Chains A and B, each alone.
Chain A
Amino acid sequence: MIESHPTIEELVDYAHGELSAPDDAAVHAHLAECSSCADAHTEEVALTQLLRAHAGAEEREMPVAVAAGVREAITRRPAFGWERLQAALRPALVLPVAAALAVALYFGFNTWRGTGRSTPIDAAYYIDSHAAMAANASFGQEAPAPLTLTSDTTPDETH
């Protein structure tokens, strides 16, 4: 268990499975004990899922003109001022950026609203606690263990 709170970068890396094994274990243990970090982690996972869903919904074939445009951009000299701004405001760039900003504003607003918000509790907490206490039920000797085994698809499985 780490003594200090993980940074937001560490939480992001943890959510994406990019930490080293000892760091991953330390953050995992910390999240089980620290509700504020667990909240931040939950929001990061939600944001990632939202962006993935958005990207999936918007996914389409790359227009032929884009590839040609890239080749042309590589060969021509750097553009100046207004031309650069025009290029940056093309829909292909503006839409994803706007989506990311909207998501960031949404979560930022929720965070800013502060402590009046209700605490999200994973339903698995209740199911696991029930299974743990009911382990002595008759013939319950092979009942599920009081934890969910880990897998790649559920990165935050053991609470």
Chain B
Amino acid sequence: MKRTSLVVLAFVAASLALANAKPVHRTNDELLVAAMSARSSVSYTGVVQVLRIGNNASQAAVYRVEHRAPDLTRRVYTAPSSLSGETLLSNGDLSFSIDPKRRRIVETRNDAVEEAVALSANLALLRENYDVIEKGTETFDGRRTVDLVLTNKHSRHPTMLVRIDRDSNLVLDKEEFGEDGSLVSELRFEEIRYATAIPQTDFALPKSYTLVRGPSFGEPSENLAQVVRGAGFTAREPRALPDGFAPIEGNLVEMRGVLTLHLLYSDGIRTVSLFENSKASTLDFARLAPRELRVEGRDATYAEDGSTALLAWNDGALYYTLVGDLDLNEFERLAASIEKP
């Protein structure tokens, strides 16, 4: 049996054991583990509201969701109007975007989704970098929740608040905060109903639609040194990461024919990706309203997409792009730490 499968089974077993146990004496850490793996064992329906707040623009989406444990999910968007009626089906590492206007289905494969080892690594990082503090109990949308605040051990700033359903261990509300304490994103589950069985037919793809193969995201590797060696150019890595961040995974991807090295770093909650390639490439920011600035004496471009930011520049030898939920100062420090040609 694959190591990933064993880890998944361990998570499921742990969550089942925790769900069956009396919830009175669980430690915050046990509750956290149970919440992170609850979707593997709980089926539900409900309405999800997602809000991502950026400095220049914010994004909101509302969708109805049906989830059949362990990994079959259907979302039907009701807002914004441009997405209304569109549906996203996911089944493990496969996603199907159903577009009724064009009568087509775009299939996407993301092998990273099944990387349960990465989930385990994230939990270890989260424990290392965050204090988990119980804020109390309350009632959220009619359900009793335990509220946990995750405070960054390095900055001492609260980074995340999660409201966990005491009965199912599902996270009913998740709020993320910036360095200054401002809200940067929120995800709310409402009208949630737990279902013992959701019919398989609810997840069927419409037969008359054309199936199109969309982007495919390959399985990342934890052996970053090997990934870097395979890049075909002398890749450069940052000498200093933000507090608590560690290398997680990497892979080589081809973007419009340009071989690109992708390295992911995380502190357990926040993440940042570093992309590098050696072929002359310019970034098309489309609707992101980019602004020009200087990084290490080089022209650079910065843009925000909701709470996700992006910084792109080149040093004459390589073309770099940072993407993640860091602020501009952290991006600039990270960019400055990358080895010089």
Contact = CB atoms under 8 A, between A and B. Distances in A.
Contacts of A124: 286
A124 B90 CA distance: 20
Chain B interface residue bracket vs A: 35 or more
A126 B323 contact: yes
Interface stretch (A61-69, A72-80, A135-143): A135-143
A4 interface: no
A52 to B, nearest CB: 15
B305 A138 contact: no
B50 A138 contact: no
B310 A127 contact: yes
Contact of A32 (B103, B112, B215, B321): B215
Interface stretch (A21-29, A91-99, A102-110): A21-29
Interface residues of A, number: 50
Contacts of A134: 264, 266, 271, 273, 324
Contacts of A137: 122, 266, 268-271
Interface string A1-35: 10000000000000001000110110011001001
B126 interface: yes
A144 B214 CA distance: 16
Contacts of B220: 133
A135 B251 CA distance: 15
A119 B3 CA distance: 39
Contacts of B20: none
A25 B210 contact: yes
A138 B266 CA distance: 10
Interface string B265-303: 010111101010001111111101000000000000001
12 contacts: A21-B104, A32-B213, A121-B256, A123-B305, A123-B312, A129-B255, A133-B273, A134-B264, A138-B36, A139-B269, A145-B97, A150-B86
Given A29-B212, A123-B284, A138-B268, 14 more contacts: A24-B210, A28-B212, A120-B256, A121-B283, A123-B285, A124-B286, A126-B273, A141-B36, A141-B171, A142-B174, A147-B214, A149-B99, A152-B101, A158-B215
